[in-house]
């Protein structure tokens, strides 16, 4: 279970099935404790905590696009963390905790400044080890922060992991703009567009609402909403400046890069070559698994391989106990 090997079940073939099925078997929610933090720019974020034993390590999770502490991967990772007696926390990006945030801005794939102040505040809590995990969008943002910080990131986190991160945002959004993959785009747009409409009502003139409502792909939406709200010239500028892939050579924290070759959200050809990665980055590309799926076992399947793989990586980087 905790090793690197992953085997997809024969009864769940294909990247699409392996992506969608985990949402049907995510299990019960952990016993979260919610905490609200005021942001440096007078907004807020909500964090859902799992309280561990005194002096235990802490695992922080940054979720994916339109995700939350209720996402299947968040539930399973926090359950696994709780079973160890560790602290765990799912950080909600702005507007993702069930309540609209206060400002026109929301969140995006390259929001490394947001990652920075959150991790600095978490480190101040005094856990002996802080481990950071990011999934999909959250994984890209975390990797971008790790690369930008270089050696300085070692002062804040002991190890990191990303799962199914869209390391090349242009390639990822192109993949989601045609064929069956449009199902995923429409799923996201089902919540993104109403949120944009609500934001335009609160902040008139900040969003081209006609273009937002006409969006049929995530690139359409990013060009009309995400990019202008966050200081980018358009979708192309947003993708170029926010993709973590070209920056990975600067990562100094021990980091696990976990992907499936059949992930419908990112073509395998867009993944970095191993020889271009620093020794601090371990890349695992499994033949199957889908996008943040990695279901295993007999029907109806289990989704505990992924959290155990992440925790095994973190185990390898626990600080040594002080000598007597």
Q: Is 178 a catalytic residue?
A: no
Cα radius of gyration rounded to whole Å, the chain: 19
Active-site annotation holder among 92, 259, 291, 296: 291
**Of residues 46, 220, 223, 263, which has the active-site annotation?**
263
**Can you read off the two tokens belonging to residue 163?**
């799962």
CA dihedral 314, 108, 113, 154 (to 10 degrees): 20
**Among 202, 190, 106, 223, residue whose Cα is nearest residue 210:** 223
Residue in this structure with the two tokens 């069930």, named with its chain if needed = 98
Three-state secondary structure call for residue 226: helix
d(CA 307, CA 287): 18
* Chain centre distance of CA 180: 23
Q: Which of 69, 97, 112, 136 is catalytic?
A: 136
Residue 234 CA to residue 238 CA, distance in Å, equals: 6
Annotated catalytic, 263? yes
Which CA distances in Å does 263 have to 163, 296, 322? 11, 16, 42
Paired with 256 in beta bridges are: 161, 282
Q: Which residues are catalytic?
A: 136, 263, 291
């Amino acid at each position: 279970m905790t090793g690197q090997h992953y085997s997809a079940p024969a009864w769940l073939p294909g990247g699409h099935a392996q992506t969608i099925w985990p949402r049907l078997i995510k299990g019960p929610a952990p016993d979260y404790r919610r905490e609200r933090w005021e942001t440096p720019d007078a907004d807020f974020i909500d964090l859902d905590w799992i309280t561990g034993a005194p002096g235990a390590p802490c695992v922080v999770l940054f979720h994916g696009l339109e995700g939350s502490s209720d996402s299947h991967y968040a539930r399973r990772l926090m359950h696994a963390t709780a079973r160890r007696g560790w602290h765990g926390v799912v950080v909600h990006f702005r507007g993702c905790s069930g309540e609209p945030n206060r400002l026109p801005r929301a969140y995006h794939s390259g929001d490394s400044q947001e990652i920075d102040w959150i991790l600095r505040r978490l480190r101040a809590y005094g856990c002996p080890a802080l481990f950071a995990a990011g999934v999909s969008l959250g994984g890209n943002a975390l990797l971008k922060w790790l690369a930008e910080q270089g050696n300085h990131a070692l002062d804040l986190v002991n190890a990191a992991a990303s799962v199914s991160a869209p390391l090349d945002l242009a390639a990822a959004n192109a993949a989601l703009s045609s064929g069956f993959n449009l199902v995923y785009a429409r799923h996201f747009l089902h919540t993104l567009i109403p949120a944009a409409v609500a934001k335009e009502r609160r902040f008139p003139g900040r969003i081209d609402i006609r273009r937002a409502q006409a969006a049929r792909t995530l690139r359409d939406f990013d060009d009309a909403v995400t990019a202008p709200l966050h200081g980018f010239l358009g979708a192309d500028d947003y993708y170029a400046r926010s993709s973590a892939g070209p920056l990975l050579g600067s990562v100094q924290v021990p980091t696990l890069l976990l992907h499936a070759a059949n992930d419908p959200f990112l073509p395998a050809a867009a993944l970095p070559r191993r020889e271009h990665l620093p020794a601090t980055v371990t890349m695992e590309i499994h033949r199957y698994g889908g996008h943040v799926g990695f279901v295993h076992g007999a029907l109806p399947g289990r989704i505990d391989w992924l959290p155990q793989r992440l925790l095994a990586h973190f185990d390898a980087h626990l600080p040594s106990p002080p000598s007597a």
